[in-house]
Amino acid sequence: MKSSHDLKTRIALLALEELADLLAAALAGRAGKDALVAFANTYRDYAREHPGRFAAAGLGLDQETAAASAGRRHTQMARAVLRGYDLAEQDHTAAVRLLGSVVHGYVSLELGGGFAHSTPDSQETWPRILDALDALLRNWPA
């Protein structure tokens, strides 16, 4: 290893690749809410099984490294999930960002213990969050 930053970058690239492979398998043959739930659950399961790698996947990569990483596959799969919804082309980027924000935000807060001191349990609210996200995507504001 050249440096600690090099090590962190390699871990981030590994995590992005592993997660992209898991997402591809989870999304195969799915559409609409089924795809949305598979996408979100894959992220959540990976984060719970590999919290350090999940955190590393969020490392800011330089433009060249990011372009060559599996991060592009993540975006392509998020867009594939969104094809199951009737969104105008100009809304796709905002919808991808919303999807990523909800999933990553919830999972990160959950891993950090942010939901540990309230009821109901985060396991119980997760499906409701996905129901709400599905409803929003089906009724995207004009």
Q: How far, CA to CA in Å, does 3 sit from each of 6, 8, 10, 38?
A: 5, 9, 11, 36
Nearest to 9 by CA among 62, 52, 76, 49: 62
Look up the CATH number of the domain holding residue 83. 1.10.357.10
- DSSP letters, 8-77, are HHHHHHHHHHHHHHHHHHHHTT--HHHHHHHHHHHHHHHHHH-HHHHHHTTPPPPHHHHHHSTHHHHHHH
pTM over 0.85: yes
- Total domain count, the chain: 1
Structural domain boundaries enclosing 43: 4-138
- Can you give the pLDDT of all 142 residues of the chain as single tens digits? 578 878 888 888 888 999 999 999 999 999 999 999 999 999 999 999 999 989 988 878 778 877 777 788 889 999 999 999 999 999 999 999 999 999 999 999 999 999 999 999 999 999 999 999 999 999 999 8
CA dist 69 and 42 (Å) reads 19
Contact 44, 126 (CB under 8 A): yes
Contact 36, 81 (CB under 8 A): yes
Q: What is the pLDDT of residue 1?
A: 57
Q: What is the pLDDT of residue 27?
A: 97
